[in-house]
Amino acid sequence: MKSNRGWLLLALPIALTACGGGEGEGDTAAMSDTATAARPAESTSEGAMAAMPTTVALQAVGTSGASGQATLTPNAAQTQVQVQLTGVTPGAHPGHIHSGTCAAMGAPVHPLPDITAGADGSGTAETTLPIDATTVMDGQHLISYHGDGGAPIVCGELTAHTM
């Protein structure tokens, strides 16, 4: 009986080491799974990459003659959107993020602030949306601003990004 206890005492440090006691020792597959599951460090690099702004060209729809650009900047679970338009008729122009593509525009999924163009036909708007940028930067959404009667005057597709 005593000899069995001795072997158990000798086996205990080996068993503890294999269960994650030392760095670089033991079952590396088990440690790798644990490290992957509890690794917030990747979110730091993803967060840095996610903070990079993306600029989308807004092209004229039909014969509107309007153009512009939208810059989306991810910020955690929010997205900052800055839009600049030129060549539009003076007055208010509502904007939205829509599902679909410019060729097949779907329903609006999030409103953007109106752009009120001055006499020179230009205007800007800026807002922070309560949505993660990856939600709309998936290749299935677009930004559109509209003229009188709701017809789109500019459109820009939000291309898919891996963030």
Please give the structure tokens belonging to residue 44: 């730091």
> Per the confidence metrics, is the pTM higher than 0.85?
no
Query: H helices of 17-120, where?
Result: 28-37, 41-50
**Domains identified in the chain and CATH numbers:** 2-39 (no CATH), 46-158 (2.60.40.200)
Split at pLDDT 50, 70, 90, the class of 160 is confident
Q: What is the pLDDT of residue 147?
A: 94
Mean residue pLDDT across the chain:
78
The values of phi and psi at residue 100, to 5°, are 100, -155
Check whether 6 has a pLDDT greater than 60: no
Residue 157 has φ and ψ, to the nearest 5°, of: -80, 135
Q: What is the pLDDT of residues 89-112, one digit of tens each?
A: 999 999 999 999 999 999 999 999
Residues 75-96 as b/e (b if ≥16 CB within 10 A, e otherwise) read: eeeebebebbbbbbeeeebebb
CB contact at 8 A, 105 and 145? no
CA distances from 78 to 7, 8, 92, 127, 141 (A): 58, 56, 25, 10, 16
